[in-house]
Amino acid sequence: MIILDKENKLITLHTENTTYQMKAGAYNVLLHTYYGPRLPGGDLSYLLRAKERGFSPNPSEAGSDRTFSLDTLPQEYSTCGVGDFRLPSIELELPNGSRTADLRYVDSEARRGKYALDGLPAFYGGEEEWETLSVLLVDEAAQVEVELLYGVLEKYDLITRAVRVKNRGNGTIRLCRCASLCLDFIRSDLDFITFNGAHVMERCPSRAHLRPGVQSVGSVRGASSHQHNPFVILCDRDANEDYGLCYGAMLLYSGNFLAEAEADQFENSRLVMGLHPYQFCWTLEPGAVFTAPEAAVVCSPSGFGQMSRQFHRGIRRNLIRDPWAGRRRPVLLNNWEATEARFDAERLISIAKEASQLGVELFVMDDGWFGARNNDRAGLGDWVVNEEKLPGGLGALVPRVKKLGMEFGIWIEPEMVNEDSNLYRAHPDWILRVPGREPSRGREQLVLDFSRSDVREHVYGQIKAVLESAHISYIKWDMNRSLTQVGSAALPADRQGEVCHRYVLGVYEFAERLRRDSPGLLIEGCSGGGGRFDGGMLYYTPQIWCSDNTDAIDRLRIQYGTSFCYPVSTMGAHVTAVPNGCTGRVTPLETRGVAAMHGTFGFELDPGRCTREEKETARRQTAFFKEHYDLIQNGDYYRLSDPFQNGPYTAWEHVSPDRREALVSLVTGTAHAAAPLLTLHFKGLDPALCYQVNGEGSWSGDVLMKAGWPLPIPSGDYQAFQFYLKAD
């Protein structure tokens, strides 16, 4: 609900459980008054107090009033160069050479429905569930107009933010910084939680008190990165899964980003999130408009769990555009770990035959099917089927797979090229490259300049021809290196600061075109696993390969950290062979299956090498996942333990929206002698209902949550258990 009090220049946003308010105060500076648990209404600007502070200057309009300073008041969208020395949201280079921005409130309007952003991902929905707020700010001296956009999804406590900057003057302006989100708080006793890691160990939570000064995470790799995720949390210092006030903030963007939290000299704090200013400088000609990516925030007065569930609901229902919506996505088998790039048609068919016996519904042919691709040193960029490996092309192979009762999918990496390829030999100027410098290589590949429409058009034409050659229902879209020597031969020297952002816009345009031209195609995102796992890609790819690390025990940590923002239905997770390729660890097949059910579930192994008992276990796991698909993929998610605490087990729970079903999964750690007998407390059940556990007994939800459930005694390391609860 959006309430505009035009007379008092007061704007209030209500969601089901929270209230967000701003007010244009003295001199039309837009101040932030409140964001927290829902309040009945009223003007909360009484909370903002003015006081003269040394070295905190006053705007010229204030005259001799030394108590009003931009340096001390909470602002809705922070400026720079005019008296606020804290984190800026925007920075301009004006025709006169100055780098200032002084924005003042002009007007606001509200309407039903959700705004959209040209060429950028955004939450979506109809007039019955969304409202849009537009706030107009203007810097009269610079002749710059800034439109702040807010989307309110009341039932999920979700508020989105986006920004449009327009040059309404006669001179050229350069936009050097443009954040999407600015949140000010009149307190700094908060914790800052970020999700960090590395390739094969992504999105591990890191929590620290806000300290004086600036703390930040971001990426300058050209993708959102394995190292830092564009999702952060500010919270009470004693907040946990079920208690405390917390604010989650997500940037829907797949390139360079920066999230900064600052505790200032007067124990206030500010969170700013958006495009990274590194290698960013956008030229705005007269009349031109720049649109910053969307950010989304959820405030939970009841801990991390409620925050996560609200994000999950919003992402599943109002961000992801799933071509399989309303039906179950298929259980897949990917051949990579079985064969890598060394295969032919008969080898693939032999694996597919075995896979069909496990209940697999989608067979995915990974890297190695195109061009001269027998290893990772050649072939990228030549998206033509290698008929020496696959005689007759996909037109011959795919029908053989479909006769086995499975759909067919392929792997692509459209943004990359090998020097040993026909594409590179014909167009060496199509890569990202700085004149006078030799390009860096990563995984023996270079990066195509996806900021250029002619490059995208060529690659798209090849891939479209492949898709039209046979019935292909799935694509795994990979990206296996970071961007270096970021330069485009298609842009002049004074616009090279636009390349990184234009690259991401090109990726989005390519993905949108794939979706439009192949409406039934399921696209799974990937960047060496989780290097581009963000809300931006989820708008185009409803699931993303969570990590190249498929070790079941490491995956408990990776999937745990990912779950703070992203739902289970987005996490690509597979059962793989042991010893694991990343860790060398050996875990039971039962445990590997339970861990993979924390995601989309599938297989990445050669089933022909499995024993009869292993095949039977895999068949049973596949049937169990299919039976409980809706509960796992669409139920409310509860974290029951923290795997980073190295406790005796990791446990999580899925609860149906009507709370009549639940599935609790648990994986133990290493076994020890004289181990204690443990009890697990379930969550999210209806206290008044009685539940059977694995088809037996009858216990009230109240009992199972408060008294708990006795856990089995494991016999060995890394044992897995599941408890299915159904109301009587």
Measured between alpha carbons, how far is residue 573 from residues 203, 336, 344, 586, 620 in Å? 15, 14, 26, 17, 17
Q: Which two tokens stand for residue 26?
A: 């003295």
Q: What φ, ψ does residue 313 adopt, rounded to 5°?
A: -65, -45
Contact 253, 178 (CB under 8 A): no
Say if CB 123 and CB 115 are below 8 A apart.
no
Rounded distance, CA 555 to CA 720, Å?
A: 14
170 in Cβ contact with 286 (< 8 Å) = yes
- Name the residues annotated as catalytic: 534, 614
CB 449 within 8 A of CB 430: yes
SS3 664: strand
Instruction: Cite the beta strand spans of 484-601 per DSSP E.
Output: 522-525, 543-545, 571-572, 575-576
User: Which residue has tokens 């809705």?
Assistant: 76
Give the span between the Cα atoms of 558 and 113, in whole angstroms. Answer: 36
Q: Which residue is listed with tokens 């992504």?
A: 202
Q: Which residues are 417's β-sheet partners? A: 446
Q: Cβ of 394: how many Cβ atoms within 10 Å?
A: 23
- CB-based contact 567:312 (threshold 8 Å): yes
For residues 650-689, one letter each, b for 16 or more C-beta atoms within 10 angstroms of the residue's C-beta and e for the rest, the string is bbbbbbbeebebbbbbbbbbeeeeeeeebebebbbbbeeb
* CA–CA separation, 178 and 257 (whole Å): 11
Dihedral angle, C-alpha 226, 232, 235, 238, nearest 10 °: -10
* C-alpha span between 328 and 385 (Å, rounded): 30
Buried b (16+ CB within 10 A) or exposed e, 529-558: bbbbbbbbbbbbbbbbbbbbbbbbbbbbbb
What one-letter code names the amino acid at 564?
A: F
Of 659, 640, 666, 654, which is closest to residue 701 (Cα–Cα)? 659
d(CA 44, CA 34): 7
Cα-to-chain-centroid distance, residue 503: 18
Contact predicate 191/262, CB 8 Å: no
Q: 620 by DSSP, 3-state: which? A: helix
Q: How many CA atoms lie within 13 A of 550 on its CB side?
A: 26
Give CA separation, 25 vs 8, 28, 70, 196, 277, in Å.
9, 5, 11, 39, 30
